[in-house]
């Protein structure tokens, strides 16, 4: 699309169109006088703008609003059918999908189980997941959250093994998906997408420098610096599970993708083993931590042991966070993932206490407030932002 020349009528129309569409997106259905008042346009200009947006299929009538006796006003709204996007969260066990229209309204969701699939066509798997969610034929863009990250230099998925993401280690992953699905595709690290959701809807809103730590079966983090997500040269910024940690095996000793570093110190299997040594059990890290918190509220030896176990986990988590904090100096640190959310305020306070004993910067630690699947929430935000930017510029003549 040809960009309008600065200072020309087409540029002014583009600016006015975007302002009107943004107002409809943020405020919902509006009358022509309301659009004029919000954009500062005269009645004739507002009328021309609405006619132009209707012709482009971006705005539709939404009924009549009764006013003073004998006076009515047509109400306009953003056309939900102007564009559709999808968000996907891919794990080894399943693919979760959420489809929404340009207003952000969710029109379909689906979970496609993928148990035991060691390879296979990733395009067909993603297509099946989208079809299960009822994705329309005119789907414009999909943002896919994965474990690991795309290396911009090679186009391949890195920082994840074939066990983590079976079938996804192919050359030119993003172009292959885009061509096969017939739409624009972006592949993003899942924890980065959680940070996107936290920045838009959670406790990180309004913060330009923050770290997010995800702790569950695996460990991961995201870095937002100056308001922007920092991915690093190979896409691996935040892959802290591989970070060397005192008392844990190193990559030199056990192999690059073996259990070592921060992951070996305080990943999911380590949490289960640590709490078991204090007499607290669970089938998953989150359940074991939840059991420890509940037991710690009582009195007696079992409660004392549970508290000691939680302090042990907190101290281990703080070791990795201390290294990140010393380098990044964030405003806040957001804690999320099954292990940390199961620990609630009890574990949060313990980790904060241990961290502040290790570092000169003392950022507050905050629990995530994003509900539901934060990977899907962040992916949907990215898909909608990019698509609205394109669609809201589509009235500019080419």
pLDDT at 13: 86
User: Which residue from 21, 23, 22, 28 is spatially nearest to 65, judged by alpha carbons?
Assistant: 28
User: Which residue from 347, 287, 346, 345 is spatially nearest to 321, judged by alpha carbons?
Assistant: 347
The C-alpha atoms of residue 377 and residue 205 are separated, in whole angstroms, by 14
58 secondary structure, DSSP code: S
Q: Which residues contact residue 22 at a Cβ distance below 8 angstroms, ignoring those fewer than 6 apart?
A: 392
Residue 322 CA, distance from chain mean position? 24
Give me the domains of the chain, ranges plus CATH numbers: 9-79 (1.10.10.10), 84-193+382-392 (3.30.420.40), 203-369 (3.30.420.40)
Residue 148 CA, distance from chain mean position? 14
User: Which residue from 250, 188, 186, 249 is spatially nearest to 220, judged by alpha carbons?
Assistant: 188
User: Which residue from 110, 86, 111, 89 is spatially nearest to 99, judged by alpha carbons?
Assistant: 86
CA atoms within 13 A on the CB side of 109: 9
The b-or-e profile of 171-202 (16+ CB within 10 A means b, else e) is eebeebbbeebebbbbbbbbbbbbbbbbbbbb
Query: pLDDT tens string for the chain (398 positions)?
Result: 445 544 467 788 888 999 999 999 999 999 999 999 999 999 899 999 999 999 999 999 988 887 655 567 889 999 999 999 999 999 989 999 999 999 999 999 999 999 865 556 899 999 999 999 999 999 999 999 999 999 999 999 999 988 889 889 999 999 999 999 999 999 999 999 999 999 999 999 999 999 999 999 999 999 999 999 999 999 999 999 999 999 899 999 998 878 899 999 999 999 999 999 999 999 999 999 999 999 999 999 999 999 999 999 999 999 999 999 999 999 999 999 999 999 999 999 999 999 999 999 999 999 999 999 999 999 999 999 999 999 988 765 54
The b-or-e profile of 351-390 (16+ CB within 10 A means b, else e) is bbebbbeebeeebebbbbebeebbbbbbbbbbbbebbbee
Give Dmax (Cα) for the chain. Answer: 84
């Amino acid at each position: 699309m040809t960009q309008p020349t600065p200072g020309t009528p087409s540029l002014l129309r583009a600016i006015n169109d975007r302002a009107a569409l943004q107002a409809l997106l943020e405020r919902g259905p509006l009358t022509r006088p309301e659009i004029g008042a919000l954009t500062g346009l005269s009645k004739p200009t507002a009328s021309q703008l609405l006619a132009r947006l209707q012709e482009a299929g971006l705005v539709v009538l939404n009924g009549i609003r009764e006013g003073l006796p004998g006076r009515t006003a047509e109400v306009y709204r953003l056309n939900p059918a102007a564009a559709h996007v999808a968000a996907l969260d891919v794990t080894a066990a399943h693919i979760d999908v959420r489809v929404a229209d340009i207003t952000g309204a969710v029109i379909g969701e689906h979970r496609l189980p993928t148990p035991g699939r060691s390879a296979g066509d990733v395009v067909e798997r993603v297509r099946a997941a989208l079809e299960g969610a009822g994705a329309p034929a005119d789907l414009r863009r999909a943002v896919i959250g994965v474990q690991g990250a795309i290396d911009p230099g090679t186009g391949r998925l890195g920082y994840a093994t074939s066990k983590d993401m079976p079938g996804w280690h192919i050359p030119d992953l993003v172009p292959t998906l885009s061509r096969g699905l017939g739409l624009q595709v972006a592949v993003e690290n899942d924890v980065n997408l959680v940070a996107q959701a936290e920045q838009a809807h959670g406790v990180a809103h309004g913060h330009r420098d923050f770290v997010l730590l995800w702790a569950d079966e695996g460990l991961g983090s995201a870095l937002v610096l100056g308001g922007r997500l920092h991915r690093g040269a190979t896409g691996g910024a935040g892959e802290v599970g591989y970070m060397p940690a005192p008392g844990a095996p190193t990559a030199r000793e056990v192999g690059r993708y073996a259990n070592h570093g921060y992951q070996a110190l305080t990943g999911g299997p380590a949490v289960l083993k640590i709490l078991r040594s204090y007499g607290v059990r669970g089938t998953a890290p989150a359940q074991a931590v939840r059991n420890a918190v509940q037991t710690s509220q009582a009195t007696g030896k079992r409660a004392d042991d549970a508290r000691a176990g939680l302090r042990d986990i907190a101290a281990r988590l703080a070791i990795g966070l201390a290294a990140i904090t010393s380098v990044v100096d964030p405003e806040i640190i957001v804690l999320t993932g099954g292990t940390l959310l199961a620990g609630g305020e009890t574990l949060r306070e313990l980790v904060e206490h241990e961290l502040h004993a290790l570092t000169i910067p003392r950022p507050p630690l905050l629990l995530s407030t994003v509900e539901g699947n934060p990977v899907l929430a962040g992916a949907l935000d990215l898909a909608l932002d990019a698509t609205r930017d394109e669609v809201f510029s589509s009235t500019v003549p080419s």
